[in-house]
Amino acid sequence: MSDQIFPLRIGRVSTFVVAVWIGVFLVLPVATLIVADLGLHDVTRILGQLSTWRLLWFSAWQAAVSVLVTGLISAPITWLIGRHHFRGRSILRAVTTVGFLLPSVVVAAGIQAVLPSAMQYSVPAMVVGHAYFNMAVMVRVVGSRAELFDDRIVGAASLLGASPQFVWRTVVWQSVRGSVISASVVTFVFCFTSNAVVRLLGDPRRSTIESDIARRAFGIGDISGATVLALLQLFTVAAILGLASARWAGNDRASQGTSPKLPGIPSHHRTTAGAIIVGTTGFVVAPLMALVWRSFHVGETFSLEAWRSIFEPMFLSTIRGTFRIALTAGVVGMSLCVLATLAIVQLPRLGRVVDALVMLPIAISPVTVGLGLILTFDTGWFDWRAGWWLTVIAHSVVALPLAVRVLLPAWRTTPHGLHRAAANLGAGAWRRLVDVDLRRMKPAMTAACGLIVAVSLGEFGAASLLSRDGAETMPVAIARLLSRTGDAFRAQAFALASLLVIVCLMVLVTVEIALMRGSRAARR
């Protein structure tokens, strides 16, 4: 006897649509990059230059230092959130996530606004930017793992004669090691492929591979050089992820458990905890406050001029265009996300292929996606670059991995029995999909849609290549204004960035509320 509740046809249709979308708008552009504009001489030309290897070396070591600094900055708050229960804990955790979800251009502009002038445009400034951006990864990944750690095992080890150092090394570290490594690898990849933070905060004489791809493609028109670098980056990231997964896979699986009840903060740790909360909140909030403060000042003088100017027709069309792209990307990306998740949940084998497909954009940087899209759809009978929808397509692809990761756990919690009940009450396959899955999934879908909108609002890499003059997105406009000389331009950049912060925070609060509702519904 076999279950006949899930007709596989819906899953297969979903797989087809997702595969076509990813194939046409991600794989084909990258393949076009390789096939159309690349000869062996380009590869030897770029790989034969010492500067290419310097780029790779700089990208790698700044990423390694950024991981270390992110770890050091995140460790106290991760310990506090991961090992203690206290009032405001979930708010504090949401605060630490803000940096990750805000547009990288905005984060960079905010940090630029607080840094002393001696530190502007330097490698340390860039590293601080990366730490700000990636703190959420450490707190979420390591903190969630630390929550599962049961203190009683430390007592058990001590009773067996182990010293505190020995217990730390053999018990505590072993239980969080996997998550620390995962978070470090993810942070390393993000910093290795960083673009906006490098361009806005870093030393202008030094580039990462990603920022050099953009420079070559956009600045000097060396498309084949940019392609070789994009491939070099793609292979390096794939190698890092492959190596990490082969070397450290299963680290967490070995020690999974149910979450024990967390203790409150002991009285002798209250001062330390207070200092950590104030320090972390200050680290997150100060750049955003500075952003707003600086938007009201031209030079040292208080002025509303920047805010007034961003609502003039030129900027207003930028703002409208950005929202139009973000909202459309939200709808398109959400539809793709639902189809992909459906295929992953319904089809055991093909679902794994779809899962791998939707994760592809993590390994392929937005700049590479943008470059590939231009080369594929801006030639011959296509002239899509003139249309804003190419940016929508890029954003729907770039945000897909994150959105699917939000929707997938929620979908997997749908009790199979509800499908049986609906079928028994007369609901066909599509009706069950709508009534049981999609209706239950509403909070998670709202959250996923919100995340796509937030990603699209702040996405810089692909948009910087796809936006044309006069139709640029807000992050591209911010970066352009920041690169110009003059206090008035900087104030305009800060005003636009402040506006983007306000909108993104509103979207993110919606996402958090939706996720909270979703987890409450799942507990019912």
| Footprint of other proteins (CB under 8 A) | 1-5, 415, 417-418, 420-428, 431, 435-436, 439-440, 442, 521, 524
Smallest distance, other proteins to C-beta of residue 443, A: 10
Smallest distance, other proteins to C-beta of residue 430, A: 11
Question: Which CB atom, from 4 or from 165, has the smaller least distance to other proteins?
Answer: 4
Q: Which residues pair with 297 in a beta bridge?
A: 302
Instruction: Say if CB 318 and CB 498 are below 8 A apart.
Output: no
H, E, C per residue of 33-58:
HHHHCCCHHHHHHHHCCHHHHHHHHH
Q: Residue 302 — φ and ψ, nearest 5°?
A: -65, 135
Smallest distance, other proteins to C-beta of residue 1, A: 5
Smallest distance, other proteins to C-beta of residue 448, A: 17
Smallest distance, other proteins to C-beta of residue 275, A: 41
Q: How far is CA 451 from CA 400, 412, 508, in A?
A: 10, 20, 7
Smallest distance, other proteins to C-beta of residue 13, A: 18
Q: Which residues pair with 302 in a beta bridge?
A: 297
Q: Round to whole Å and give the CA distance between 177 and 253.
A: 12
Question: Which CB atom, from 43 or from 521, has the smaller least distance to other proteins?
Answer: 521
Q: Residue 256 — φ and ψ, nearest 5°?
A: -75, 150
Q: Round to whole Å and give the CA distance between 520 and 275.
A: 32
Question: Which CB atom, from 146 or from 422, has the smaller least distance to other proteins?
Answer: 422
Question: Which CB atom, from 1 or from 386, has the smaller least distance to other proteins?
Answer: 1
Q: Residue 298 — φ and ψ, nearest 5°?
A: -105, 110
Find where tokens 């997105």 sit.
473
On the CB side of 396, how many CA atoms lie within 13 Å of its CA? Answer: 27
Question: Which CB atom, from 22 or from 422, has the smaller least distance to other proteins?
Answer: 422
Smallest distance, other proteins to C-beta of residue 177, A: 38
Question: Which CB atom, from 19 or from 436, has the smaller least distance to other proteins?
Answer: 436
Q: Round to whole Å and give the CA distance between 318 and 179.
A: 41
Q: Round to whole Å and give the CA distance between 428 and 507.
A: 35
Smallest distance, other proteins to C-beta of residue 194, A: 41
Smallest distance, other proteins to C-beta of residue 515, A: 16
- In three-state secondary structure terms, 1 is coil
CB within 8 Å of 459: residues ≥ 6 apart: 103, 366, 394, 395, 398, 399, 473, 475
Q: How far is CA 133 from CA 110, 193, 479, 489, 504, in A?
A: 12, 13, 17, 25, 15
Question: Which CB atom, from 72 or from 425, has the smaller least distance to other proteins?
Answer: 425
The widest CA-to-CA distance across the chain, in whole angstroms, is 79
Question: Which CB atom, from 3 or from 312, has the smaller least distance to other proteins?
Answer: 3
Smallest distance, other proteins to C-beta of residue 341, A: 17
Instruction: Say if CB 135 and CB 100 are below 8 A apart.
Output: yes
Question: Which CB atom, from 62 or from 346, has the smaller least distance to other proteins?
Answer: 346
Question: Which CB atom, from 228 or from 436, has the smaller least distance to other proteins?
Answer: 436
Question: Which CB atom, from 103 or from 443, has the smaller least distance to other proteins?
Answer: 443
Q: Identify which of 250, 73, 242, 84 has the alpha carbon closest to the alpha carbon of residue 151.
A: 84
Smallest distance, other proteins to C-beta of residue 429, A: 8
First to last CA, the chain: 31
Question: Which CB atom, from 6 or from 86, has the smaller least distance to other proteins?
Answer: 6
Smallest distance, other proteins to C-beta of residue 518, A: 11
User: What is the identity of the amino acid at 365?
Assistant: S
Q: Identify which of 324, 353, 180 has the alpha carbon closest to the alpha carbon of residue 251.
A: 180
Q: Which residues pair with 298 in a beta bridge?
A: 301
Instruction: Say if CB 296 and CB 306 are below 8 A apart.
Output: yes
Q: How many residues does the chain have?
A: 524
Q: Identify which of 284, 285, 100 has the alpha carbon closest to the alpha carbon of residue 183.
A: 100
